[in-house]
Amino acid sequence: MDITTLAVHAGEREKAGEFVPVSTPIHNSTTFLYEQVERTDRIAGGEETGYMYTRYANPTVAALERAMLALETVGSGGGEAACFAYGSGMAAIHAAILAAGLRQGDRVLCSSEVYGSTVSLLMNVLAPLGLELLLARPSAAPEWEAALARQPRLVIVEAISNPLLRVVDLRATAAAARAAGAKLMVDTTFASPILCRPLALGADYSVHSTTKFIAGHGDAMGGVVTAAAEEAPALYGLRKLAGGVLGPFEAWLTLRGIKTLPLRVRRQCESALHMARALESWPQIERVHYPGLAAHSDHAVAAAQFGGLFGGVLAFEIRGARRADILAFMNRLRLCLCGTSLGDVQSLLLYPVMASHRDLSPAQRERIGIRENLVRLSVGLEDPGDLLADLKQALPRA
């Protein structure tokens, strides 16, 4: 079935006693009871599936996991897979790294273009425990190949990077990782399952911060990991022990968000492309970064990989603007909200120098192409003409 149909129905309508609810209820219960304790005994022993304690499994969270599994495996040829939800995107990334079964001294190759907290988790938490971290740019072939030659056990990339929207060729990256003996984790947050399903392209783990496009309304944190079924015991066992579970209310909000995910993402992609093309022609804009533009370095890869969509996030550089000019521009915005998240129904504008890339020195930022005049815009569901008018009235006068 098409992903649009699955988004509406997948995961729902588990029978609860006499009736079938149209919408999965919020099961706000820590503990679940059965008439006969023998049943609880079999569930505890893993001979039967069921619910006992919400840190192990919860029916509302399980409904979300079934829905995400359905979306993440569209077109993967029916291979057996499993999906687990966590309390945030970072908890999901942490779980997938641990599930990869790394041992002291093992190397992890991480794209230097990934979300800053992912690098910090590896550098500040996992490296001191004995993992060796290799950072390289997947877009720089010699650098990436040299790092792969050092035989990492796990490779981490993002489908679409932040904030320059670089696109990784996932099929080629998965094949190269496999040839080097490594597992591949893809952070698919910026792409959403509407643009790409990494397991079908050869990845071992697809991770989402569901806080972004999937929940989509700026009201629920969460994360998911989808992987081959043989990874399920490690992912399940680690969640049970580390305890980074998703709450039933957040699971319910996220499941509700999924119903409109295909519609929202398509509209956000259309609006972002329309706006990127318009901004390209404005004299105050020095450069627009959007993989849907022919001028973007990864346009061809994105066009081949994402089914004709290019994502709901774009970035642009304001000609001659310094930090104070950007802050003044942000203060003049009336419609776009200046917030750090993305993928929501509301358009959100972020200044990397102030937020995501604040801790880097100007020289480090310059090296990775993040200039002082760069802003990122996550395009929401507003009319794109209204959004462009808001940007226009806030831009510095020529």
**Minimum Å distance from CB 154 to ligand PLP?**
16
Q: Which is nearer to ligand PLP, 43 or 380 (CB)?
A: 380
Nearest CA-CA partner of 107 in 146, 139, 138:
146
The residue among 115 and 252 lying less far from ligand PLP, judged by its C-beta, is 115
Give 43 or 160: the residue with its C-beta nearer to ligand PLP.
160
CB of 209 to ligand PLP, least distance (A): 3
Number of helices (H), then strands (E), belonging to the chain: the values are 15, 11
Question: What does the alpha-carbon distance between residue 246 and residue 152 come to, in Å, rounded to a whole number?
Answer: 31
Minimum Å gap between C-beta 192 and ligand PLP is: 11
Q: Closer to ligand PLP at the Cβ: 189 or 347?
A: 189
Nearer Cβ to ligand PLP (43/244): 244
- Which lies closer to ligand PLP via its Cβ, residue 192 or residue 211? 211
- Residues near 241 by beta carbon (within 8 Å), at least 6 away in sequence: none
Tell me the closest approach of the beta carbon of residue 356 to ligand PLP, in angstroms. Answer: 9
> How many CB atoms lie under 10 A from the CB of residue 210?
32
Residue 174 and residue 199: Cα distance in Å, rounded?
Answer: 10
- Residue 54 CB, shortest distance to ligand PLP, in Å, is 20
Residue 110 near residue 96 (C-beta atoms within 8 A): no
Q: Which is nearer to ligand PLP, 190 or 205 (CB)?
A: 190
Q: How far is the CB of 223 from ligand PLP (least distance, A)?
A: 5
Total Cβ atoms within 10 A of residue 377: 24
Burial pattern 267-287, b for ≥16 Cβ within 10 A else e, equals bbbbbbbbbbebbeebebbee
Q: Cβ of residue 345: shortest distance to ligand PLP, in angstroms?
A: 16
Closest CA to 325 of 375, 388, 390, 282: 375
d(C-alpha 315, C-alpha 311), whole Å: 12
Q: At its nearest, how many Å lie between ligand PLP and the CB of residue 26? A: 20
Any idea what DSSP says for residue 128? G
Determine the residue with CB nearest ligand PLP: 89
Which residues contribute to the site for ligand PLP (CB under 6 A)?
88-90, 115, 158, 162, 187, 189-190, 209, 211-212, 221, 223
- Closest to ligand PLP by CB, 4 or 341: 341
Q: Helices 248-259 & 59-72, crossing angle to 10 degrees?
A: 40
3-state helix, strand, coil in the chain (%, to 5): 40, 15, 45
Query: For residue 121, what is the DSSP state?
Result: I
